[in-house]
A and B are shown apart, each in its own frame.
Chain A
Amino acid sequence: MTLITRINLRIRMKNSFTTMISIMLIITIGWLSNNYILQIDITTSASNTLSLDSQKALNALPDPILITAYIEKGQSIRSQISQLVNLYKEKKSNLTLSFIDPQLNPEVAQAIDTNSEGIILIEYQNRIEKLDYIDENSLTKSFLKLANIDSQSVNIQPKTNSGLTLDLSDTQISLMNFVNLLILPLLFLITGFIIWHKRKAA
């Protein structure tokens, strides 16, 4: 074995070792970051923050809560439900959400009498609440019922989003179209053409 081959071998071993250590470190940080999560809602409308009523309802239910949604696979409502339930999960770790496709499990679907739109069951201490429409208001009310707290007085209003109106004149819209669809692309194309021409000339 020549000296150069030996040095190369040593360098390659050192490289492999450093890479392995780095990748292991990446995996460890990834695993830790998935288990210890910090969140902050930066939306102006606070649309990702639970209202105080919902937080109080969760505090009244110390035992595990099981939410089962009987909704067909591939429906976008599934991700909307998990997004909403994730906000509650953030405050309560022993809350579980699972999905069941009623088409694939007809006997289960029949037993719980689900309609075509799907249904959501909330189970707490062997008691069950049924929901056919889910939003923060209805979910929190079900939690309050399960906690034997009067839910009549609670009414969580959906968050008001900013920018519900757009007041642009026809001229302003035409100007936006003109600049975005014509002026800017033309400018880029002309510059590209000039560069191409210069390279060709060179």
Chain B
Amino acid sequence: MMIFTIAIQEFKSHFKTPLAWVLFAVLQIILSYLYLTQVETFDLMQANLVGIDGAPGLTDIVVTPLFSNAAIILLLVTPLLTMRVISEERRNKTLPLLLAAPLSDTDIILGKYLGTLALLWLIVILIALMPLSLLIGGDLDMGKYLANVLAITLLVGAFTSTGLFMSTLVDHPTVAAIGTFGILLILWLFNISKTMSDQPNELLEYLSLLNHFQNIQTGLLSTNDILYFILFVAFFIVSSIYCLANYRSQK
């Protein structure tokens, strides 16, 4: 129960600063611009598509690129939202107060994680609503659309857990943000071995965030892709709890 109290507190705290609102506005402008450009492209090329066998549909041309772009932009934005979660409490010397409360380390980490994740899921809802306006004049492959929504939902979960871990590890929010961005970018780029090498490294391919994200985007849901994200989150949550417990025992 205490987890949710912390989560709600954390979620509300994001809206007490203008940062979240400015991010919402910037994301909305960038993503809707990219989305509307894709809609326009589809509008221009649709006459050519009708005659082609197996031609890509509205979902392939508009929805999938929208979610791919959103993933890259969220990779840049998430570190900004997660950098303060624990490190700022440490800098402001309020963390000992939180630790003195009758809460376990797991409560604190999970509460902070869920609070920040709720904010990112709000952004995901904002993105997911955009393509639904196309239903007025066209058909969407709803299965593929839902797969895309699932892919980005799991992806932001992974981003947030990495950000939370870095924020628990270091004192400075900026260092936490850069660290998170670094880890995420490396994990994202592991996928390069897939096209750049004749014998792709299986381990690197498995560790690549982009690889699993793209697999889910195709609409072919696979247990190993979904479990990858769950295990990814579990790994960083466990590591964060370990860091916080270490911090507590040092005090």
> How far in angstroms is the closest Cβ of chain B from A21?
10
Residues of B within 8 A of A47 (CB): 144, 218-219
Q: What are 24 A-B pairs with beta-carbon distances under 8 A?
A: A15-B246, A19-B239, A23-B239, A26-B234, A30-B227, A30-B228, A42-B220, A42-B221, A43-B143, A43-B220, A45-B141, A73-B195, A73-B196, A163-B138, A164-B58, A166-B137, A168-B134, A176-B133, A184-B32, A188-B22, A189-B21, A192-B24, A195-B15, A199-B16
With A180-B32, A195-B15: A166-B198 Cβ-Cβ less than 8 Å:
no
| A 9-43 contacts with B by CB, 8 A | 11-12, 15-16, 19, 22-23, 26, 29-30, 33-34, 36-43
A23 to B54 CA separation, bound complex (whole angstroms): 44
Smallest Cβ-Cβ distance to A158: which chain B residue = B54
A173 to B28 CA separation, bound complex (whole angstroms): 17
> How far in angstroms is the closest Cβ of chain B from A38?
5
- A185–B28 contact, CB under 8 A? yes
Residues of A within 8 A of B50 (CB): 164-165
Smallest Cβ-Cβ distance to A45: which chain B residue = B141
Between A and B, how many residue pairs show CB distances below 8 Å? 205
| A 151-202 contacts with B by CB, 8 A | 157-169, 172-173, 176-177, 180-181, 184-186, 188-189, 191-193, 195-196, 199
With A42-B221, A180-B36: A34-B246 Cβ-Cβ less than 8 Å:
no
Residues of A within 8 A of B241 (CB): 19
- B138–A165 contact, CB under 8 A? yes
With A164-B50, A185-B29, A191-B21: A74-B55 Cβ-Cβ less than 8 Å:
no
- List the 9 closest pairs (A to B, CB-CB), nearest first: A158-B54, A192-B21, A161-B57, A163-B58, A180-B32, A43-B219, A188-B25, A192-B18, A48-B220
